[in-house]
Amino acid sequence: MKISQIEKKKHLYLIKLDNGDNLTVTEDTIIRFMLSKHMVIDSQQWEDIKSFAQFSYGKSKALGFIAFQQRSQKQVQDYLLKHQISPDLIPSIIDSLKQGKWIDDQQYVDTYVRQNSLTGDKGPLLLKQKLMLKGIASQLIEPVLAQTDFSSIAQKTAEKIYQKYQHKLPSKALTDKIIQGLLNKGFSYDLAKGIVSQLSLEQDSQHIEGLLDQEFDKLLRKYSRRYDGYQLKQKLYQALYRKGYDSDDITTKLNDYF
């Protein structure tokens, strides 16, 4: 067999043989086999060229995928499968990328956790969950998390929640909201409680009274359609207490109304 034509197609090359066969290859394939027009090749060489061309194309796709963003090994594997790279070739492509330090799950974990410490708001439980979803083994994740101080991240996250809800909720509900927000972000309950205890959650009494009045009026409209007297009073008390209002404040409000 003889190469009758080598035609460049953007970043790839189309090789045509005189027997009608053709193959799209990467530049690495051209260089590796020193392919040129009129070059004579036998059937074994042609099979070797096709095999390496598939490997090189897969590696090129992977490098494009990780060029602008660090990826985990599983992310690269999934990407190659999605782009119809032969599953038989993927292990060798991954090995080549690992040897070239293009993918490194331990480095991925280190960078991910460090970036979260600088600009993120996630606690260790959520970080571990997200990293494991990227196919990273827990034994690579846990030592990094254990060495990371999450208190300052939790503090910043708690302050953001406080700023958002300080004028919307009474103190108990505000405390519960902050703790739940920290739990949702993957911080432990003990750390969340400790952070909240350090926050200054003072609220203006007149503002709280105004919130209570608004909530009372809303609940009164709701429950007065079905209840009256003592039963209405009990329903209002229970609903307001669940929303985080102080028991004494609720009792005073109910006594004033009833």
CA distance 45 to 56: 16
Angle (CA) 89 93 98, round 5°? 150
Token look-up 């790279």 returns: 85
For the stretch 198-219, pLDDT in tens is: 887 666 677 778 888 888 888 9
Please tell me which residue, 200 or 232, carries the higher pLDDT value: 232
- Residue 204: the pLDDT is 64
| Assigned CATH for 3-70+89-99 | 1.10.10.10
CA proximity to 58, closest of 95, 108, 5, 32: 95
List pLDDT tens digits, range 130-152.
999 999 999 999 999 999 999 99
Rounded to an integer, the average pLDDT of 117-142 is 97
Beta bridge partners of 23: 15
Q: What is the pLDDT of residues 47-65, one digit of tens each?
A: 999 999 999 999 999 999 9
Across 77-96, average pLDDT? 95
Instruction: Look up the CATH number of domain 151-198.
Output: 1.10.10
* CATH architecture of residue range(s) 105-146: Orthogonal Bundle (1.10)
pTM: 0.77
